[in-house]
Structures are given as structure tokens and as C-alpha cells.
Structure 1
């Protein structure tokens, strides 16, 4: 036997896991390969964490002697020109630095680190000589600056170390590398050693003992140096976070006397460097623009207090792998915790928010940098995938349910069902409810089917059923099924408007069916066609409603004793020569609104133990019974005629 190819279809339920896998893989790739857009987002999250943490007090062992705007102004404008003669114009004479170093050391400073590059002699040999004498006196306790420079030439880029002039270098040397590596967002975040490690190996071998400025400064101070656990500086704050003294105060006798009295520099690492805007030595950091000497202070303080920040997972490939399994696992777990789209989305957003909190705590309090933005985006997008596919699934389910229900129910009722907040599928599950059940059957249809040509019979039946369905739908009823020429309908399933309203809708439907069939008979009589009469039985009570059938064919229907009673009552209309019979259970709900004729108590097949009270429906109370009598007379003549022919 040849089997047809099975058509493969993607269902909304399978799309969400595929999307989650896509986000997890994308996040993992972005993390493993440090893709710049995602790297920028991660750096912005670190900036946010720094600012949420805020400025904190730095160690007291570090003081900055600032070449600031005030010092530049005082050197130029101070009346006692002899006192500040060395700082009257920029660049300052080197005697100013020599005097400052001597005073600082005399005041008990542990060491002095100078963030000013002295790579060439000045045009004042005497000044250079005085500086050399000072540096030689405090050799090993004064750290000088060295930097990496790149220049362009016809032959390509030329790299070199720019070191202090050899005449200023004395053993034991203390020379520190002052370059910092700018991150993709332009900010300085890592120690100078990170820059140093990026330099060409051959160039580095030319100066094997070169250390970063922070390391050299700490070793010069004889304080313990513990290599930092990570590459990232623990910034204590923005500008003016560290204790700062204007350079000119050290040169001014009265101000210096006050500083000595306060023991401002005793046992301190003193950093000398520019902070004046004019000198253009400001760089972007997580706390905004900060002068170079203050960045050095942050780096030294970070190492001194062992506060360096480190990547929680240093290897980018492993970070990507962890993110892959983490995001995928979270996505699957969310899918297992809830089956509805909105809770899944809200849960994903909550998990993303929790991850942001974990990242902040790890960063600010544990000193470890976790990927934050990329996994947050992947988790949030997983939630959106659940939400989107859930919405698509809901719409498809609504469409499927609409197609199912429109076979039975009027469009307004279908819309009302679909607008209900409960699960659509629950409407098709088995449930007990109270409803009015209506059966309608054509009198003598079996004999007609033998007499009429098939084309005429089908046309006649379709015209009749179309009118009956219209009457039922207008009264908010549900067409349950057609059984040959019979119609089964219910009122109160799948949507109930209340017991009395459902019962009255059944009454209005039956009266509408009477009216429309009477109109059809009038039309058929004029056209010379066969006339049809019917009987209607209605009962009210408990039924079980749901989709019933096999795997191949399911049908929304109601079953139960109320259905059986309605069917039996419809069969009795012929015996009582009436077109509409209702039971006591229905009559009790509508008795104030209808006119009826009590036809007695009768035993129904299957209910021989308790007789059923039956009523012939005349019409609505207050309306003339003209149509009822007309139909009753015509039906009696028709039944008499049929009886005479048998």
C-alpha cells in the first residue's frame, strides 16, 4: 500500500521553543565573540551599576597634589613673585617639583608619584640639576611616568616607550606606565597593566621591568602589593572623590605650615598631576570625566584595598556557553511553570529583572562582573515569544472554535462566546448545565419522501429547514443537529442568559417557527406545492454538554434525561393534534408570559414511574390567539386527511 507523504506543519506551540533556542544561541554568540553592540550594552550596565552604588569613601592613604586651575592662576597673579616664581608660566620650572618633593618627604610622605612626563631636559639646566639631586636623594620612593606612543611615518606606524630622561633615573628605579586602554564605549575601566599586556611583545622585551603606574607607586611606598584579582578598576567616585590639595599651597610658606600642622601628607602616597581643564588631561569614566591623576588614584586605591573587579567567567567562550544553557533552561522552565502566554511573559520579565538585581549585587558587593544585558534581553525576548505565539495560538483557537460553533450557533452568540475570558477549549469539554431543549419534526414526512421527486423533496426540505434555523438563531438558540427532517436545538448552551431568559427564548423560537411555517404554507399553496406541518416539543432541565464523538468526527451536543423528554413530548404533538407542547419544568419558568392549554399528565417512555404534565402553547400573553387557532384547524384537517388514507 502506498502511503501519502505526511505534511509537516509548524504549530504555535513549537514556535516558542524554537524562538527561545534562537535567542539563547544569539546571546551566546554575542557573548562568546564580544560582538560590539552587545558589548556596549554590557558596558552601559556596568556604568549604571557604578552610579547606582554611588560614590564611596576612598582610602585615606592617598592624597592628590593637584596642578589645578587655582595653582595656574596663583602662580601667574600672586604678588610675591619669589614665592611662586617657579609656577608663573606653563610648563612649570622643575625647581617647583623639586621643592614640592623635598617638602612632602620631609612631612613624612611614604612616596610621591608624578603624573608628568619628563622625557627631555628643560631649557634651564640649573633647574634640571636641582630636580636630579632631589630624585637621587629619594631614589626608589619617587615614581616617574612612562608612556606608550605611536607616531605615523611613510613606512607605517612607529611604536615606542617614552621614558623619563636618563638623567632623572636613579637606582633603585621606580617608573610607572600611565596609559589606559579605552573600552568600546570610550571609557577607561581597566588597569594600565591591561594596556601594557596589549603592547607588541618585542617592544615589551625592550623594557622588561616596566610596571603599571599603580603597581610602581605602591611598591615605592613599601606597602604590601597583592596582584589584583581582575583587570577592572573599582572607581570610588567622580572628580574630587580623593583628598586633593592645590599644588601652590605647598610652595606658599603660610599654607605649607598649616598643611604640616594638619599632617596632611604623613604616611600618604602623594600623587602629583594635572587636574586643570587647560591641560586637557581628562578622560571618560563610569562617573563622567575624571582627570588622569584621579584615575591613577582610583587604580592605586583599588589595589591597596583589594577591590579589583573581575569577570565572573574570564573566558568569553565559556561565558557564551553558560549563557546558552542558562537562557534555554530558564525559557523551558517558564514554559513548564505556566501554560498561558501572559503569565509566561510576566514570569520572563520577572526573571530578567531578578537577573539585573543579581548582576548589580555581584558587581557592587562581590566584585564580579556578570553578563547582564545580553541574558536579560534573551530572557525578555523568550517571554515575548511566549506572548506572541500564545496570541497567535489563541487566535487560531478562536478561529477553530468559531468554525465549530457557527455550524450550530448564531454569529452574535459565537462572538459572545469568544469574548469570554475563560479558556476557549473549556467550552467544548463535558459540563453539566440547565437548558431548554427543543425538538421539531415534520408530520408525515416519511410518506412524502416516497411520493415527491427527490429534487422537489430536497428543495422543499431546505426551504423549511432554512426558515426553522432562522427562527431558532433569532431567538439566540443553538442548532444541535438535523436528524433527517427533524431539528434539535437548545437554549442555554453553550451560553446561558439565565434560566428564565433561556426558557423564554425557546418559547419565542417555537412561536417563530410556527409563524414562518404558516407563511411558507401560504406561499406553497399559491405555487401548488405540497404543504408541510410539524410538531414541536420543549422541555427544560439538566443536560450534559460537550464535544461528543470519535477521533474522526466530533460533534457539540447535549445529552441527558431532558433531551429524551423533549423528544418524547415532540412525538406526542400528533396525538394531541397540536403543533407545540411544553413540559411543566418549562412552564414554571414562563407561566407569567404565555397562554397555554393544559392537556393533562402523561407517562413518557423511559419515565413510567412519574407522569409528566404537558401544556399546548397558544402564544404570548396579551397577543391574539388567531394564528394558533388557524394552525390548529389546518393541522387537524391535515391529520384527518392523512388518517383517512391509511
Structure 2
């Protein structure tokens, strides 16, 4: 049955799951950063392997600056670089350099600023920009342009575009203005591409590069894409747009290569570690004489990117591998990645899947935590975490797919923590109260059943059949008179602890300790099968334990005294429940069945036997070794109560010795009822049989039985004569 606390717990848990689902759907910056860091870690574990692709970086490095002077170089030197690279057979030459202003180192510009120079001489001086422009003409050179916040200049587009579906002008990042290029450079360059790697990104790490920018009417390719197009001699980009989603790109075709992209036309970078094999120093290309055969071989047929790694030129970017690399190397890696066909992609439905997983798995954890067990829910949560990580990793490793395992894991952890905390603070409070109330009096199995029973601690009682046991120490008054109070306490603690263990072990409920006595009962607060049998087994265990304690002198009495006990057991109806006040109560049983059990325990002295049960209890023990002990008038009772002595368990009852003893006992009882003069012989024979069958337990019982002949006749005891 679902409790109100559990209902509230489910509502609160599902509210938390809903809030976490909405939070993930809104995708705040913190979640995006965590997701990006997860994908970065995947790349660090398995980076893209560097392959000897026909892509190289002509690096304006420190060695080049030492040899040819500080940057910027005069444009005639850049032109010489273009000439040499072209002569070596470069398939495309892309400059990750801005040529936005006239060359201030051009001789014509230098002389113009000198006063007193005849203006007619200016036309005779070389113009480095003109030299560079002529070098571009007819060569596969791609120039770069940057984004600008000023003006309204937009470069011309050298390539054509073909679209499938709607024109996706609204998909890529916006281009409001660009850094202007000189018209002669624009005209002679084979291609123009933007050099922005992560425009508008809040992180310095370059994870996805926009392959296009848009002014709303035209698309502008990036530098790497233009270099690849020019190298292939392709004239057109073919863009696939999603048919059901406006302004959404899916892939781009450049010549022979197809590139999957994000909805905004971005390429997820799958980078390889930075390596010197990717770079060729510009000084080795521009140096005096011919370049080495190795350099020529590396450049021939390759797409080369010209950029700088020199410190102080501030063109350093961070890759997902955590490396700081020149920006030009990222352009080179874009082409390497396209040529290798190693792509990463994050499907459009990935966000939906992750949001759904938070909702479904979170709800599952709430249900498990509330109704099953927090430990089971934790195990399921750990299992879900494991599978989420494994699935995400396998998707990355074998499919290049990027699925975020972190958001569902974090959301699940928060949900489990909140649901567990609520259960501990509210839902499990009643069970903790039960455990405090019954922990010392019940077996763990019974305690578990009570914890999962609704209203277990309500004030009041229920009438049900119980088997009640009373245990009392014989001659306790005499024992205590000869001992100090502390010694009496130690004696009782040793004895009662050892005896009460058998109640707990046999699914009984310890009601109370009354001085030197124990009260216990079976079949409450929850149903106990074979409650009478378990009560008798507990009593037999107490008999064995007491014998062991006496034999080992556990009480320190030596051979002078042996401790004895009497045990009375009765089965009948009693009222059992919490009794007392609302703020302080005890779980106990009251009623006639309890009184009868207490009187049977007292009758053990009259019968001179340690374990006696009533007839209702005996009727529930068909397999035990029982002997009729007579019908006694218990204190406070008007009619006699038939009692039976518990000699042993079922194994003793099946033994040949006990079978013979039982037959002898039946004849003795018949003789007592007939008031036969032959009963004395039968008593002696019974004693002998008992010695064999029960190791002397019945010697006192049979020594007393002749004086109790009236307990075995049908008439009242006061009218029966001793025989």
C-alpha cells in the first residue's frame, strides 16, 4: 500500500526531474561547457592519427624572421614565396594573412613620404603590391579576409553555390563586414575565404569551425574550404539543406569530397596532435638557391597554408587536445580531416535523446528510490551511468558521434540524492521508529516485515492468536540473598541475554524482562507460521543453553549450585499492540492467554519439570516428544488446565527409547486414573525408561508423579486421594 509520505516523495521527485529536464532543454552555458569538455576528453583519449596527407604549413617562424627580418615582410618577398611554391607544384596556396593595407615597405610608398623627391620618379620605382598582384595572377592562390565591426565591405565570392532544398542563408554565423582587400588582389586571387575559426565563441578552444559565413543574401566560404576547392579546380559548392527545417544545413560537397556539418554549417574538428611534420619553415623555401628535394617532394601536389608561428604575432589557438598551436595549423587540419574522411558529428536528435533520457531515467530512479530501496536505486543508477558512458564512448570511437553522457548522469545523481534524502528524512522515519522500538526484541526477518507494514506503530491493539512464553529462574530469591547487587545484575545479564537469544532466533517477540523472568510471544506483530513450534524450539534451546552455562560454570557458582528455570507456554487469543500514551508506549500483549502462560510457568514447580505447555499448544505440536503432565487448577482459574511436559524435539519423539517410554507413561497414567496399587512399579519402570530416553530430565517428574495422582483423575483435585 502506498503511504502518503511515499506519494509526496514521488511528487517532489518528479518535480525535480521536470526541473532538470527543463534546465537541460534550455541548455545553459555551464552545461554546454561541461559537454564540450567531455568531448575534448574523448579526443584526448583517442586523437585523430596524423597521416602524411598532401597538406603542409609554410611557417613564418622565428628562423624565417631572423633571416628575412621582422614581420610584415615586403610584398615582393611574399610574391617570391608564391612563385617558388607555385614552381614546386603546390596545388593551392592559401594565406592565413591579411593583406588589408598597401605595403608600406614598397619603394614607391617609401619615397612618396620623403620630401623633396621629384614625383616623376615615383612611376619608375617598383610597387610591391603590383608585384604581388602579378604573382597571384593565374596561380592557385587563396587569400584570407577577416571579420570587421566597421564599414560595410564584403568581398567578392569566387565560387558558385548550388542548394538542395531551401537556400540556407540563415544557417551560418552572420557576416556584417569584412576587412577590405585591394581590388587588384581580389581580382587576381583564385579564391577568397574567411580566416575566422570561432567567431562569437565564449571559449578560446576551437572545437567547431564555421565553413561558411552569411550576410543573409550570400554565403562566404572559409579559407580551408576555398583552398580545397581551388586545389581540385572545382567551381561550385553543393549544399544539402534539411527539407523539414528551414535554415538548416546537413552536408557540403566540394569537388570529390562530402563533409557532414552542423545545422549552422560548422565542422566539428577532430584534431591530431601538433607535429613538426606538418610544418615547413618559410626560410627553407625562400633561401638562396634551390630548395631541397625533400621540401619539393612535400610541396608538390599539396595544399599549402602560409601563416606564422612566431611568438609575438598573436596567432595562437587552443585545440580540444589542450595544445596551443598556430591558427594556420587549424586550417591545415580542417583539410587533413576532410581528406582522411574522419569526421565527428552530433546528430540533430542528440539533444532530444539526452533530454528524454533525463526525464525517463530520472523518473525511474524516483520510483526505485521511493518504493524499492535506495541501495537498489543506487545500483541501477551506477549501472545506467556505466552504460551511458560506454554507449557514448562506443558511439564516438566507432561512429564519430558525439552524445553527452554527463547531463543524464548528473541529473540522475541529483535526482537520486534528492529522493534518497527525502526518503531518509520523511518516508523512512516511520521505519526508523519501528527499528528503534523493535530492534532489540525481534529477529531481522520479522523486523523487515514490520518496517514494510503500514501503521505498524499506531496506538491500540489487535486480537489475534498468540503463543505466549514465560520463563522464570528457580530459587532466585535465595540466589540473590547470597550475592551483592552488582553480582546479581551480572548474573541476570549473563542468563537472560543467553536465553533471550533463542526467542529472537526463532522469530519471537521479546515483550519484557520482569526481574528474573522473560515474557515473549509469537505471531505478532506480524504473522509467524508454526508459532507454537517455534516457541517450543526456543524453549528447548534455552534448556540446552542453560545446561552449557552450568557445565562451564558461567555464573561462577562452582559445583555448589546449578541454576534452574521453569518455562510455561500457552496458545490462545490475546490483545497485542502499542499500549500507553501517544508520546510514550510499549508493544505488548494482554489477555487471558498471557495469564495462563504465566500460571503454567508457576506450575512447573508443582510438576517438577522445566518446560510445560497447555493442551492448545500441544495440539499444534504433533511431532514433538510430549508426555501428559496432568490437569492442574491454575491460580485464578475455576477449571483445570491440561498440561504436557516437553521432553524433546521431533528426532527424540521418533527414537525407539522414547516410543517405549511413551507407552510406559500411558500405562502409568491409566493406573493413576484407576487408582491401581500397581502404580509404584510402573513409576519405577518409567524412571528407568526416562533415564534412557531423556538423559535424566524426567527423574524429578516421575519422583513427584505419585503425589500428584489427583491431577490425572476426572474429579477435582481436593477430592482425589493420593495413591
Range into which the TM-score falls when normalised by the shorter chain? 0.5 to 0.7
Retained in 1: the 8 A contact 2:142–2:191? yes
Matched residue of 1:63: which SS? Answer: strand
Retained in 2: the 8 A contact 1:353–1:376? no
1:31 aligns with 2:24: yes
Gap regions ≥5 residues in structure 1: 1-6, 76-86, 153-157, 430-436, 443-467, 515-530, 542-556, 590-597, 606-612
Retained in 2: the 8 A contact 1:120–1:164? yes
Matches of 2:520 and 2:343, distance apart in 1:
80
Q: Tell me: CA distance 1:495–1:275, structure 2 relative to 1, closer, same or farther (3 Å).
A: farther
Matches of 1:59 and 1:559, distance apart in 2:
94
Deviation at 1:356, TM superposition (A): 1.3
Deviation at 1:166, TM superposition (A): 2.2
What is residue 91 of structure 2 aligned with on the other side?
110
What is residue 113 of structure 2 aligned with on the other side?
none
Matches of 1:209 and 1:440, distance apart in 2:
95
Deviation at 1:292, TM superposition (A): 0.5
What is residue 278 of structure 1 aligned with on the other side?
312
Deviation at 1:538, TM superposition (A): 6.0
Q: Tell me: CA distance 1:71–1:100, structure 2 relative to 1, closer, same or farther (3 Å).
A: same
What is residue 226 of structure 1 aligned with on the other side?
258
Retained in 2: the 8 A contact 1:535–1:580? no
| Higher RCO (C-alpha 8 Å, min separation 6) | 1
What is residue 311 of structure 1 aligned with on the other side?
346
Q: 1:54 aligns with which of 47, 56, 61?
A: 47
What is residue 279 of structure 2 aligned with on the other side?
244
1:584 aligns with 2:625: no
Q: Tell me: CA distance 1:161–1:313, structure 2 relative to 1, closer, same or farther (3 Å).
A: same
Q: 1:373 aligns with which of 401, 406, 415?
A: 406
Retained in 1: the 8 A contact 2:96–2:328? yes
What is residue 187 of structure 2 aligned with on the other side?
170
Q: 2:197 aligns with which of 177, 180, 197?
A: 180
1:534 aligns with 2:551: no
Deviation at 1:151, TM superposition (A): 6.5
Deviation at 1:133, TM superposition (A): 1.1
Q: Tell me: CA distance 1:315–1:473, structure 2 relative to 1, closer, same or farther (3 Å).
A: closer
Q: Tell me: CA distance 1:163–1:428, structure 2 relative to 1, closer, same or farther (3 Å).
A: closer
Q: 2:620 aligns with which of 552, 561, 569?
A: 561
Deviation by residue 1:506-555 (Cα, 9 ceiling, x = unmatched): 889994569xxxxxxxxxxxxxxxx99931476599xxxxxxxxxxxxxx
Matched residue of 1:162: which SS? Answer: coil
1:136 aligns with 2:146: no
Deviation at 1:55, TM superposition (A): 4.0
What is residue 266 of structure 1 aligned with on the other side?
300
Deviation by residue 1:83-138 (Cα, 9 ceiling, x = unmatched): xxxx2122222222111111111111111000010100011333222111101242
Matches of 2:298 and 2:420, distance apart in 1:
62
Retained in 1: the 8 A contact 2:59–2:308? yes
1:211 aligns with 2:211: no
Deviation by residue 1:174-224 (Cα, 9 ceiling, x = unmatched): 111111226444311112336x35xxx4xx55xx35321122111111262
Gap regions ≥5 residues in structure 2: 107-126, 152-174, 234-254, 454-466, 473-491, 512-517, 523-530, 550-561, 568-598, 635-639, 653-660, 671-685, 711-715
What is residue 146 of structure 2 aligned with on the other side?
147
Deviation at 1:147, TM superposition (A): 0.8
What is residue 288 of structure 2 aligned with on the other side?
253
Tell me the C-alpha RMSD between the 2 structures: 5.7
Deviation at 1:313, TM superposition (A): 2.3
Matches of 1:369 and 1:502, distance apart in 2:
68
Deviation by residue 1:19-39 (Cα, 9 ceiling, x = unmatched): 3x4564344323321112211
Q: So what's the TM-score if we normalise by structure 2? A: 0.57
Matches of 2:612 and 2:277, distance apart in 1:
87
Q: Tell me: CA distance 1:566–1:368, structure 2 relative to 1, closer, same or farther (3 Å).
A: same
Deviation at 1:325, TM superposition (A): 4.9
Q: 1:323 aligns with which of 353, 357, 367?
A: 357
Q: Tell me: CA distance 1:601–1:398, structure 2 relative to 1, closer, same or farther (3 Å).
A: farther
Deviation at 1:562, TM superposition (A): 3.0
What is residue 424 of structure 1 aligned with on the other side?
448
Matches of 1:116 and 1:487, distance apart in 2:
96
Deviation at 1:602, TM superposition (A): 4.5
1:503 aligns with 2:535: no
Matches of 1:496 and 1:159, distance apart in 2:
94
Q: 1:43 aligns with which of 30, 36, 44?
A: 36
